[in-house]
Amino acid sequence: MSMPQNDTERPGWANATTTLNGMRVLVLGGTGGVGEGVVRALLDDGATVIATSRTRDRLDDLATRIAHPRLSGETLDALASGLDERAAQLAARHGGPFDGVVVSVASWGAQGRKPVLSLTDAEWDEQVAANLTAVFRLYRAFVPHLATAGALIQLNGMSADIPFPGAAGVALTAAAQKSLTRTLAAELGARGPRVYEVILGVIRTRARQEAGIDDAGWIPAAHVGRHVAELVAGTSPLSGDDLHCFADVTRGPQSGTRR
């Protein structure tokens, strides 16, 4: 029997006392498969959540599924001009610096699965822009609008570390995202905000479950959200590590720097 990805049950490793009451968390890519689970978990823990999408339609769909007074939706495109101004506008509209910014942004591109040497120049450029330039631009725009004690959390996949045949664009940008995020963490250091890179295994998303694609060994998206909530609150035992790996549903998140 499949477990709903948005189950509210708290996994064994999650801190039962985590509360985000009064905190504001921006989920960039909140309409995505992983992002939706993160949004649900943050709301469960008391946060005010601002989810973003490139389109109002996707935000309306999300609001239909999660009708919650502490959830709002904002359109935002990481590759659009005026991103820095848009970030300042969102921070001002939602009450000042954010306590957490979650980057859960990804694009598979239109090229489908393709061997690396078959990629055209245009496909290469599109993948790098959509998955790497986008993340860099989001960091540059939103870190100035994070509270000093706040947390920036980037959700990434295991292709940051291992080959992904047929999906070179996703894999190479994942590896570069990991490098970018850890470099930012080192540059900010103790000054804050805290910066986390979370490498995920396969996730049980709502869309996958609705398509009948499921596996009890995969990680419910809401469990990723629980980890994110603990990082924002500072209650995670991993709060002092910048690199985490969450690939095993029973073990929960692990330090990536101690592997």
Ligand X SMILES: NC(=O)c1ccc[n+]([C@@H]2O[C@H](COP(=O)([O-])OP(=O)(O)OC[C@H]3O[C@@H](n4cnc5c(N)ncnc54)[C@H](OP(=O)(O)O)[C@@H]3O)[C@@H](O)[C@H]2O)c1
List interacting residues with ligand X (CB under 6 A). Answer: 29, 31-35, 53-55, 58, 76-79, 104-107, 130, 134, 155-157, 200, 202-203, 205
CB closer to ligand X out of 33 and 193: 33
Contacts of 54 (CB under 8 A, 6+ apart): 75, 76, 77
CB closer to ligand X out of 14 and 106: 106
**In whole angstroms, how close is the CB of 148 to ligand X at the nearest point?**
25
Tokens of 173: 């940008």
Positive or negative: CA dihedral 254, 135, 34, 118: negative
DSSP-assigned letter for residue 3: P
Q: Are 252 and 246 in contact (CB under 8 A)?
A: yes
**In whole angstroms, how close is the CB of 62 to ligand X at the nearest point?**
8
Distance of CA 114 to the CA centre of its chain: 26
**In whole angstroms, how close is the CB of 34 to ligand X at the nearest point?**
3
- From the list 69, 58, 9, 12, the residue with the least C-alpha distance to 36 is 58
Q: Dihedral (C-alpha) 16, 17, 20, 21: value to the nearest 10 degrees?
A: 120
CB closer to ligand X out of 32 and 252: 32
Q: Which residue is nearest to ligand X (CB)?
A: 32
Half-sphere exposure of residue 138: CA atoms within 13 angstroms, side-chain side:
27
CB closer to ligand X out of 9 and 60: 60
Q: Are strands 71-75 and 219-220 parallel, antiparallel or unpaired?
A: unpaired
CB closer to ligand X out of 61 and 192: 61
CB closer to ligand X out of 35 and 252: 35
CB closer to ligand X out of 34 and 132: 34
**In whole angstroms, how close is the CB of 161 to ligand X at the nearest point?**
12
**In whole angstroms, how close is the CB of 104 to ligand X at the nearest point?**
4
The structure tokens 């946060």 sit at 47
**In whole angstroms, how close is the CB of 206 to ligand X at the nearest point?**
10
Please name the residue ranges forming H helices in 69-219. Answer: 83-93, 121-128, 134-142, 168-188, 206-210
**In whole angstroms, how close is the CB of 38 to ligand X at the nearest point?**
9
